[in-house]
């Protein structure tokens, strides 16, 4: 497929997912465009990973529609991947599973992911940051039009997460791809995003980072830690949807949730 900036790659319309009697996602409508970095934030259990699973075809929605541009290539970086530490598996071999790729293609993907010196290393001996960059390289092998990352910096410290997001910005610039990220690293991911979507079963608010950061809905969900780092977030979701400039679909009603939880955010 050919793409230019602002080309629509994926359109989600009125998406709904239900597990048993419990609705997980409802009335989700959004458009992903080439060259745009979109970040989804929300408390645990808000449906973030379910939304990504729907996008990659691992979860069938109960209602609504997801349409992709013809020939769309998707790269996916999972939240976590366990590899038996006793398995003698090099980075080069890992990138060739299940389908063999050339050494040149593997090295190109590793270079793009900022992991060019890891080609011959054992997977079991990589640090957390190195492991995530190898997973990113694997996702980049197909030169994706849409790159999806599910909590890709979980377990990394703040400098490591910031460096990873800077690399994602470089990938976007080089490939012109769209990027959709789920993250808890609000203090660094907001700066790397063109658009932020605040999700809590539905889209509470969305817009440019500076707009969303000022929205009542966002402030109701997230508290700030010290020196710009998010230490805790609370889901005190008591609000009215009356911010037209950051409204998302499905936010034209009032509601009142009172489920306070404290969670440690991933550093």
Rounded-to-integer distance, Cα 249 and Cα 26, Å = 10
pLDDT by 10s per residue, the chain, length 267: 655 666 999 999 999 999 999 999 999 999 999 999 999 998 888 999 999 999 999 999 999 999 999 999 999 998 888 888 888 999 999 999 988 999 999 999 999 999 999 999 999 999 989 999 999 999 999 999 999 999 988 888 888 888 899 999 999 999 999 999 998 777 677 778 999 999 999 999 999 988 888 888 888 887 643 223 332 222 233 333 333 344 443 333 333 333 333 333 333
pLDDT at 56: 95
What values do phi and psi take at 131, rounded to 5? -60, -45
Residue for token pair 């992911």: 113
Class of domain 8-73+144-264: alpha beta
Question: For residue 33, which of 10, 56, 2, 57 has the smallest C-alpha distance?
Answer: 10
Helices 103-112 and 158-175, packing angle to 10 deg: 120
| Secondary structure in 3-state letters for the chain | CCCCCCCEEEEEEEEEEEECCEEEEEEEEEEEECCCEEEEECCCCCCHHHHHHHHCCCCCCCEEEEEECCCCCEEEECCCCCCCCCCCCEHHHHHCCCCCCCHHHHHHHHHHCCCHHHCCCEHHHCCHHHHHHHHHHHHHCCCCCEEEEECCCCCCCHHHHHHHHHHHHHHHHHHCCEEEEECCCHHHHHHHCCEEEEECCCEEEEECHHHHHHCHHHHHHCCCCHHHCCCEEECCCEECCCCHHHCCCCCCCCEECCCCCEEECCC
Backbone angles phi, psi at 112, to 5 degrees: -65, -30
Instruction: State residue 218's pLDDT score.
Output: 84
Question: Which residue in this structure is represented by tokens 């990504």?
Answer: 52
Global pTM reads 0.80
Around 100, how many Cα atoms within 13 Å sit in the side-chain half-sphere? 2
């Amino acid at each position: 497929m050919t793409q230019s900036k602002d080309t629509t790659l994926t359109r989600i319309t009125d998406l709904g997912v239900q597990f048993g009697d419990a609705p997980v996602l409802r009335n989700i409508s959004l458009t992903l465009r080439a060259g745009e970095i979109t970040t989804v934030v929300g408390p645990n259990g808000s449906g973030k990973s379910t939304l990504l699973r729907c996008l990659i075809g691992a979860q069938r929605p109960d209602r609504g529609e997801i349409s992709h541009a013809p020939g769309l290539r998707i790269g996916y970086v999972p939240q976590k991947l366990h590899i038996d530490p006793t398995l003698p598996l090099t980075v080069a071999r890992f990138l060739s599973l299940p389908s063999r790729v050339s050494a040149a293609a593997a090295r190109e993907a590793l270079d793009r992911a900022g992991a060019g010196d890891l080609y011959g290393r054992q997977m079991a001996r990589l640090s957390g940051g190195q492991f995530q960059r190898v997973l990113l390289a694997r996702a980049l092998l197909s030169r994706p039009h849409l790159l999806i990352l599910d909590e890709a910096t979980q377990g990394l410290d703040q400098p490591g997460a910031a460096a990873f997001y800077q690399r994602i910005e470089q990938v976007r610039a080089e490939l012109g791809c769209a990027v959709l990220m789920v993250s808890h690293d609000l203090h660094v991911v907001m700066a790397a995003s063109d658009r932020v979507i605040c999700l809590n079963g539905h889209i509470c608010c969305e817009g440019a980072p500076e707009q969303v950061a000022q929205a009542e809905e966002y402030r109701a969900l997230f508290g700030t830690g010290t020196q710009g780092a998010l230490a805790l977030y609370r889901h005190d979701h008591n609000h009215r949807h009356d911010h037209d400039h950051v409204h998302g679909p499905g936010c034209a009603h009032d509601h009142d949730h009172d489920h306070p939880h404290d969670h440690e955010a991933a550093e």
